[in-house]
């Protein structure tokens, strides 16, 4: 079956620290992979995506590379800011059905 596993949070960092949030997946075929971000009191927003192996998605300083050999799509950012505090969701798109989301990882950045 199709599933997404994310590292459990919360992740607590100081401003300007390096961020990694791990995401691995199980899927049949070759799904697209996504990272979404949810700020307090809001809906999820698409952060970045990758549609095939070795693609790198990037946005607002965040990056993730589609690794087929390790079935991973880890989210990274070189220097986090307080404004990056949010919940981050990894998701995959199986063929002809809805996105499957991980459970989310809470990031808290302090100044």
Partner 1 sequence: DAGVIQSPRHEVTEMGQEVTLRCKPISGHNSLFWYRQTMMRGLELLIYFNNNVPIDDSGMPEDRFSAKMPNASFSTLKIQPSEPRDSAVYFCASSIGTGEGYTFGSGTRLTVV
Name the pairing type of β-strands 11-14 and 105-110. Answer: parallel
> Closest approach of Cβ 44 to partner 1, in Å?
5
**DSSP conformational letter for 52:** S
Contact 37, 48 (CB under 8 A): no
DSSP state of 73: -
Q: Which of 40, 69, 70, 96 binds partner 1 (CB under 8 A)?
A: 96
Comparing CB distances to partner 1, the nearer of 8 and 16 is 8
Interacting residue with partner 1 among 9, 24, 63, 99 (CB under 8 A) = 99
Footprint of partner 1 on 28-57 (CB under 8 A): 31-32, 34, 41-46, 49
Distance (Å, whole) CA 46 – CA 82: 19
Chain residues in the site for partner 1 (CB under 8 A)? 31-32, 34, 41-46, 49, 89, 93, 95-104
């Amino acid at each position: 079956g199709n599933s997404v596993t994310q590292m459990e949070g919360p992740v607590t960092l100081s401003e300007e620290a390096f961020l990694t949030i791990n995401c691995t997946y199980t899927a049949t075929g070759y799904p697209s992979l996504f990272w979404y971000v949810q700020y307090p009191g809001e809906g999820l927003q698409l952060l970045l995506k990758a549609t095939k192996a070795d693609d790198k998605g990037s946005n607002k300083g965040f990056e993730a590379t589609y690794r087929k050999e390790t079935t991973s799509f880890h989210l990274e950012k070189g220097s986090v800011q307080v404004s990056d505090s949010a919940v981050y969701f990894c998701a995959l798109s199986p063929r002809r059905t809805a996105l499957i989301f991980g459970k989310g990882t809470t990031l808290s950045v302090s100044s």
